[in-house]
Amino acid sequence: AAAHKIAVLSGDGIGPEITDACLKVLTAAARAEGEELVYTEALIGGAAIDATGDPYPAETEQICKSSDAVLLACIGGYKWDSLPNAQRPEKGLLRLRSSLNAFANLRPAVVLPQLADASTLKREVVEGVDIMIVRELVGGIYFGEPRGFEERNGERVGFNTDVYSESEVERISRVAFEAAMKRGKRLCSVEKSNVLEVSQLWKEVVTRVAEDYPEVELSHMYIDNAAMQLIRNPKYFDTIVTGNIFGDILSDEASMLTGSLGMLPSASISEPGKPGIYEPVHGSAPDIAGEDKANPLAMVLSAAMMCRYGLGLPRVAQRLEAAVTAALDAGYRTGDIMQPGCSQVGCRQMGEVVLQQLEKAFAKA
C-alpha cells in the first residue's frame, strides 16, 4: 500500500508531550497492519508566532494542503494572550480550519464503562452515554462580518456577527443526518430560534433537509435547555447538530460526562478529496504544560478517527481504540481521570502503557 502523508502540528503547551506519546502508538498500530505513515511536522499557533511571526505560516498551509490528513495537538498560551486577534495562536487554528474548508466537526462523547465513575455526575446518569456532536466549524459568529471594535456614543464597543447561509446550514445538516443514520437515527438540532434570526433560518433549513431522511427522528432544542438536558439526562441525545459557538460550548460540557476533557477526540471533515483535521477537543492546558501530567488519550483517539475517516484504515483505528481500552482495563490513569485503586501515570508513561497493550494484542493475533 502507498504511504499515507500526515501533517503533524504539535502546537503549544501540552501539545508536544501528547504528540510524542500519540505518534509512538500510531506508528506501532500502523506497522501492525503493514501500513506506512509519513509524518511531516509543521508549525502552528504560538510556536509558529515565535518562529515566524505568523500563527499559520504559508509553509504550514502548503504542508497541510498536500497531506492526506492533518493531526493537530493544541494551540494557545498565556504568553500570546494579549496580542491583537490576527496574531493570536487561536487565529492560526481558525485559519487552518478555514483554509481546508473543514466545515464539519465531529465530536463524539462516549462514556467508557471503565470511566463511568470518573465523571462528576452519578454513574447511573452517564453510564452508556454515546453522543455525537456535529458542530459547524467554518462559519457563524467565529467568522461573521462585520466584526471589530469601534467608538459609539463616546465609548468603545466590541461587536461580532452570527451569520449562516442556507447552503452552509444545508451541508452541515446533511453530514449530521448521515451520521445519525449510522447511529441511533435520532437527531437534535440545537439553536436559539426563539431570539435569533440566524437560528430561525437554521431551524427552517434543517427541517427541510429532514425530508430527505424520513428514517431519522428530528427534534429541535434551544441551546439553554440543551445545556441543561445534557447534564440532566444525557442519554436522551444520540446525534446533535449545531452551529460553531454552541457546538464549542456543548462539546466541552459533554466531556465531563466522559470523565475528562482529556478523553475527547474530534474530526473536522472537509469536502471529499480534501484533508481533514484530527484534533483533541481540549486546549493547550497551560496550567499543566511541561509537567508530564497531560492525558494523551484524546489525541490517540483523534488519531484513530483520522485512520477511520481520513485514511480509510479502520483496522488501525480499531487497534488504537482497543489499546486505549486495554490500558484503562489494566488500571492506568492520568491525573485527570484518576480513581481509587488505579495506578496514576504521567503522559509519557500512559503512552508507553498503551503501546505495550498494542504490542501484546499484536503478539496474540
Catalytic residues: 142, 192, 224, 248, 252
In this structure, what are the phi and psi dihedrals at residue 59, rounded to the nearest 5 degrees? -65, -40
DSSP run (H or E) holding 96: helix 89-99
Minimum distance of ligand IPM from residue 89's CB (angstroms): 8
Minimum distance of ligand IPM from residue 352's CB (angstroms): 27
Are the C-beta atoms of 46 and 89 separated by less than 8 Å?
yes
Check binding of 90 to ligand IPM (CB under 6 A): yes
Check binding of 93 to ligand IPM (CB under 6 A): yes
Check binding of 310 to ligand NAD (CB under 6 A): no
| Residues 6 or more apart whose Cβ sits within 8 Å of residue 130 | 108, 109, 110, 111, 183, 238
Check binding of 94 to ligand NAD (CB under 6 A): no
Check binding of 90 to ligand NAD (CB under 6 A): yes
Report the distance separating Cα 172 and Cα 252, nearest Å: 20
Check binding of 283 to ligand NAD (CB under 6 A): yes
Nearest one of 248, 277, 234 to 134, comparing CA atoms = 248
Minimum distance of ligand IPM from residue 44's CB (angstroms): 11
Residue type, 5: K
Report the residue number, 94 or 347, with the smaller CB distance to ligand IPM: 94
Report the residue number, 241 or 281, with the smaller CB distance to ligand IPM: 281
Report the residue number, 74 or 176, with the smaller CB distance to ligand IPM: 74
| Residues 6 or more apart whose Cβ sits within 8 Å of residue 163 | 139, 140, 141, 144, 145, 198
Report the residue number, 189 or 244, with the smaller CB distance to ligand NAD: 244
Residues 208-267 that bind ligand NAD (CB under 6 A): 261-262
- What the block records as the C-alpha cell of 17 is 508531550
Q: Which of 14, 21, 94, 305 binds ligand IPM (CB under 6 A)?
A: 94
DSSP per residue, 339-353: -TTSEE--HHHHHHH
DSSP per residue, 60-87: HHHHHHTSSEEEEEE---GGGTTS-GGG
Report the residue number, 288 or 298, with the smaller CB distance to ligand IPM: 298
Piece in contact with ligand NAD (CB under 6 A), picked from 26-34, 110-118, 153-161, 292-300: 292-300
- What the block records as the C-alpha cell of 258 is 466522559
Q: Which of 68, 248, 279, 336 binds Mn ion (CB under 5 A)?
A: 248
Specify the 3-state DSSP secondary structure of 37: strand
Check binding of 162 to ligand IPM (CB under 6 A): no
Report the residue number, 92 or 346, with the smaller CB distance to ligand IPM: 92
Report the residue number, 112 or 205, with the smaller CB distance to ligand NAD: 112
Check binding of 76 to ligand NAD (CB under 6 A): yes
Nearest one of 7, 10, 3 to 30, comparing CA atoms = 3
Nearest one of 209, 214, 211, 301 to 264, comparing CA atoms = 301
Check binding of 77 to ligand NAD (CB under 6 A): yes
Judged by CB under 6 A, how many residues of this single chain contact ligand NAD? 21
Piece in contact with ligand IPM (CB under 6 A), picked from 88-96, 209-217, 227-235, 325-333: 88-96
**Which of the listed partners (ligand IPM, Mn ion, ligand NAD, none) does 94 bind, with a CB threshold of 5 to 8 Å by partner kind?**
ligand IPM
Are the C-beta atoms of 40 and 61 separated by less than 8 Å?
no
Are the C-beta atoms of 17 and 292 separated by less than 8 Å?
yes
Positions in the binding site for Mn ion (CB under 5 A)? 248
Interface residues toward ligand IPM, by CB under 6 A: 76, 90, 93-94, 248, 281, 283
